[in-house]
C-alpha cells in the first residue's frame, strides 16, 4: 500500500535460525538464551545488570515498583511521550505530573520545568529520550540529587544512544528499553531494564517472576527444590524465542543505527531548502539512535491535509505524540497540566514524523522531501 512506509524491520535468516535453534533445544522460557541476551546487553550499554522482560511497559512498571512508588507519590514525566510512560507510574498508585519540553528544537523534558513541578510529594523523575536524543542528564541528575529524587529513564527509543560516552538508560537509577516491533532492535514484544544497583537488580528479578526466590530453570538444573515468595511480583518474563531474536538484533544494532544517522543527516541537509520547517534535534549533544525523524510544520499549516497529501504520494507519516494530558483517561489525573505545558501544546499540534528505517535509500529521502514540498504548496492545501 505504501511506496515508503513509516518504518520497516531488518529481519532475516539469522533470526529465523536462532528461533529454530531454541525450538529444537526445547527450553522455551527464561533460560540460557535470555541470560546470554542480558549479558550482551549489559556489556553493550556498560551497565552492571540487565533484566529482560516481556515488554518495556512492564519494565517501566517494575522500575516504578522497585523504587517503592505508591499512592500519594508524584512522578514528574513529559506529556509528549507514549502513554505507557505515564501508565506505568499510575499502575503503582502514584500520580504522573507532566512537565513541559525544552523547546521547538529540543523535544525532551526541560530541567527548568522539572524543577518547577517539585513539591513535598515528588519522589521520582521519569525522563524519555525522544527518538534517542539525550535529555540533559547532567542537569537532571543534579536536580534529583538536590531534592533526593530517584530517576527512571524511559529509554524505549534509545538502544545505541550515548551522551558523553555513557549509554542512555545508564545515567539514572534504572533504564528501560523496548524491543517492540517498530523499535531500533526488536523481538516483536520485549524489553530490557538496566541498573548498576545490586539491590535494585535483586528486586527487579523478584518482581519479574511472582516474587519467587527460585526460577523454573534453577529447579530444572537441580539447584533448588522449593521456593519462597517474598514480594508481590508479576509475570513479566520474556521467552527464549524472543531472547534469541534479541541476540541477533543486538549484533546488527550499531550498523543499522549508523545508517539511520546517515539518513537523518541527509534529511537535515535537504530540509535546509525549507527554512519555514522546524527540524528538531539538529546538532543535539551526544550520539542518537535516530529512532524517528520528527519535523514541525510551519504554524497555520493544516496537519491532517498535509498528511493526506503525503499519503496520496504513497508516503506514510505519523504523529509523535498526541500529548498524554489530553487523553480522556488522563483528564482528572493532572488537572493543572494544560497551563503548565505551552511548548508541548504548540509542538504537539505541528509535529509530523517522516519515514526512517535502515533499509531506506538516499533516493527515498529525496522523494520524501519532494513530496513534503509538494504537500506544502498552498494550492495543494484543502
Ligand X SMILES: *Cc1c(COP(=O)(O)O)cnc(C)c1O
Residues involved in catalysis: 183
Q: How far is the CB of 55 from ligand X (least distance, A)?
A: 4
Least Å from the CB of residue 349 to ligand X = 19
Write down the least CB distance from residue 247 to ligand X, Å.
Answer: 18
Closest CA to 323 of 58, 148, 81: 81
Q: Applying CB under 6 A, which part among 98-106, 154-162, 201-209, 324-332 lies near ligand X?
A: 154-162
Q: Which of 81, 264 has the CB closer to ligand X?
A: 81
- Please list every residue from 47 through 106 that binds ligand X, using CB under 6 A: 55-57, 81-82, 84-85
Query: How do the residues of the chain divide into helix, strand and coil, expressed in percent and rounded to 5?
Result: 45, 15, 40
- In the bound state with ligand X, the residue whose beta carbon lies nearer, of 162 and 236, is 236
Find the part of the chain contacting ligand X (CB under 6 A) among 152-160, 227-235, 247-255, 371-379: 152-160
Strand order in the sheet with 49-53: 49-53, 191-195, 174-178, 150-154, 122-128, 74-78, 95-99
Q: Judged by CB, which is closer to ligand X: 154, or 240?
A: 154
Which of 115, 180, 311, 319 binds ligand X (CB under 6 A)? It is 180
- Of 157, 203, 242, 325, the one binding ligand X (CB under 6 A) is 157
Per-residue CA distances from 65 to 73, 95, 241 (Å): 12, 13, 27
Binding-residue total with ligand X (CB under 6 A): 14
Q: Which is nearer to ligand X, 88 or 367 (CB)?
A: 88
Q: Give residues 117-146 in contact with ligand X (rule: CB under 6 A).
A: 128
Q: How far apart are CA 115 and CA 106, in angstroms?
A: 18
Asked if residues 281 and 265 have their Cβ atoms less than 8 Å apart, the reply is no
- Please tell me the distance from the alpha carbon of residue 265 to that of residue 109, in angstroms, as a whole number: 24
Integer angstrom CA distances of residue 226 from 172, 217, 236: 35, 12, 21
Least distance (Å) between residue 161 CB and ligand X: 13
Cα 5 from chain centre: 20
Task: Give buried/exposed letters for 89-116 (b at 16+ CB in 10 A, else e).
Answer: bbbbebbbbbbbbbeeebbbbbbebbbe
289 scored as a contact of ligand X (CB under 6 A): no
Contacting residue, 135, 156, 200, 290, with ligand X by CB under 6 A: 156
Q: Residue 339 CB, nearest distance to ligand X (Å)? A: 24
84 or 97: CB nearest ligand X = 84
- Residue pair 166/138 in contact by the 8 Å Cβ criterion: no
Nearest-approach distance from CB 282 to ligand X, in angstroms: 21
Q: Which is nearer to ligand X, 352 or 369 (CB)?
A: 352
Instruction: Compute the residue count for the chain.
Output: 382
- CB of residue 190 vs ligand X: minimum separation in angstroms? 7
User: In sequence order, which ranges of the chain are alpha helices (DSSP H)?
Assistant: 13-25, 32-45, 56-66, 83-91, 111-117, 137-147, 198-208, 216-220, 240-270, 303-312, 337-340, 342-350, 362-376
When the beta carbons of 337 and 369 are compared against ligand X, the nearer one is: 337
Which residues are near ligand X by CB under 6 A?
55-57, 81-82, 84-85, 128, 154, 156-157, 178, 180, 191
Amino acid at each position: 500500500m505504501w511506496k515508503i512506509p513509516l518504518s520497516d524491520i531488518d529481519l532475516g535468516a539469522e533470526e529465523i535460525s536462532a528461533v529454530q535453534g531454541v525450538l529444537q533445544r526445547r527450553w522455551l522460557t527464561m533460560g540460557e538464551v535470555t541470560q546470554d541476551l542480558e549479558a550482551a546487553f549489559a556489556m553493550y550499554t556498560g551497565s552492571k545488570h540487565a533484566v529482560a522482560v516481556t515488554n518495556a511497559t512492564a519494565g517501566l512498571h517494575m522500575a516504578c515498583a522497585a523504587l517503592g512508588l505508591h499512592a500519594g507519590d508524584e512522578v514528574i514525566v513529559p506529556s509528549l511521550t507514549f502513554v505507557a510512560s505515564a501508565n506505568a507510574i499510575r499502575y503503582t498508585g502514584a500520580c504522573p505530573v507532566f512537565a513541559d519540553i525544552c523547546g521547538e528544537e529540543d523535544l525532551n523534558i526541560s530541567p527548568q520545568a522539572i524543577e518547577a513541578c517539585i513539591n513535598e510529594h515528588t519522589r521520582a523523575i521519569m525522563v524519555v529520550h525522544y527518538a534517542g536524543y539525550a535529555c540533559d542528564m547532567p542537569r537532571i541528575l543534579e536536580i534529583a540529587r538536590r531534592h533526593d529524587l530517584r530517576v527512571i529513564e524511559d529509554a524505549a527509543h534509545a538502544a545505541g544512544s550515548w551522551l558523553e560516552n555513557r549509554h542512555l538508560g545508564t545515567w539514572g537509577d534504572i533504564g528501560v528499553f523496548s524491543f517492540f516491533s517498530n523499535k531500533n532492535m526488536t523481538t516483536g514484544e520485549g524489553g530490557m531494564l538496566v541498573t548498576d544497583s545490586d539491590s535494585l537488580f535483586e528486586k527487579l528479578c523478584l518482581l519479574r517472576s511472582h516474587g519467587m526466590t527460585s526460577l523454573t530453570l534453577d529447579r530444572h538444573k537441580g539447584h533448588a527444590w522449593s521456593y519462597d515468595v517474598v514480594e508481590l511480583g508479576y509475570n513479566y518474563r520474556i521467552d527464549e524465542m524472543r531472547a534469541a531474536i534479541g541476540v541477533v538484533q543486538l549484533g546488527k544494532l550499531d550498523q543499522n543505527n549508523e545508517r539511520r544517522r546517515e539518513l537523518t543527516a541527509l534529511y537535515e541537509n535537504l530540509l535546509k531548502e525549507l527554512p519555514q520547517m522546524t527540524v528538531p534535534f539538529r546538532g543535539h549533544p551526544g550520539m542518537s539512535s535516530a529512532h524517528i525523524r520528527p519535523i514541525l510544520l510551519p504554524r497555520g499549516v493544516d496537519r491532517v491535509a498535509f498528511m493526506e497529501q503525503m499519503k496520496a504520494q504513497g508516503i506514510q507519516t505519523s504523529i509523535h505524540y498526541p500529548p498524554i494530558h489530553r487523553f480522556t483517561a488522563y483528564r482528572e489525573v493532572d488537572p493543572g497540566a494544560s497551563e503548565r505545558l505551552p511548548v508541548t501544546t504548540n509542538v504537539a499540534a505541528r509535529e509530523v514524523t517522516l519515514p526512517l528505517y535502515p533499509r531506506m535509500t538516499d533516493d527515498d529521502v529525496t522523494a520524501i522531501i519532494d513530496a513534503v514540498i509538494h504537500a506544502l504548496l498552498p494550492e495543494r492545501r484543502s
